[in-house]
């Protein structure tokens, strides 16, 4: 399991909304994105894992890759993410 304990609300730097509505679920999915420069970013999606990948890839430059991180959110992280007020299907990039 990956550790995302260092993610902070202040790290919110991008927010994208989906183009169409569907049932995204109500759980957060953490996605790691790798850019052309091989640096990684952590993104958060209020969507099911498969949908989260599609949503995040739509928000980053073409050719970047993404994978779902299998993480257990702590109660503190869950509360912090809820305070972002993401709607189902929203994604945002967070700093570690």
Question: What is the model's pLDDT at position 3?
Answer: 41
Per-residue pLDDT tens digits for 58-67: 999 999 999 9
Tokens 């993410």: give the residue: 81
Alpha-carbon distances of 89 from 9, 40, 62, rounded to whole Å: 19, 22, 20
* Residues 21 and 46: beta-carbon distance below 8 Å: no
pLDDT digits (tens, 9 = 90+) for 5-52: 444 433 443 445 444 555 787 899 999 999 999 999 999 999 999 999
């Amino acid at each position: 399991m990956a550790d995302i304990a260092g993610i902070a609300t202040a790290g919110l730097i991008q927010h994208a909304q989906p183009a169409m509505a569907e049932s995204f679920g109500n759980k957060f999915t953490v996605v790691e994105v790798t850019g052309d420069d091989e640096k990684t970013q952590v993104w958060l999606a209020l969507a099911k894992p498969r949908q989260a990948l599609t949503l995040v890839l739509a928000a980053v430059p073409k050719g970047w890759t993404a994978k779902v991180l299998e993480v257990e959110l702590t109660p503190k992280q869950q509360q912090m993410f809820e305070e972002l007020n993401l709607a189902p299907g929203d994604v945002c990039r967070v700093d570690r």
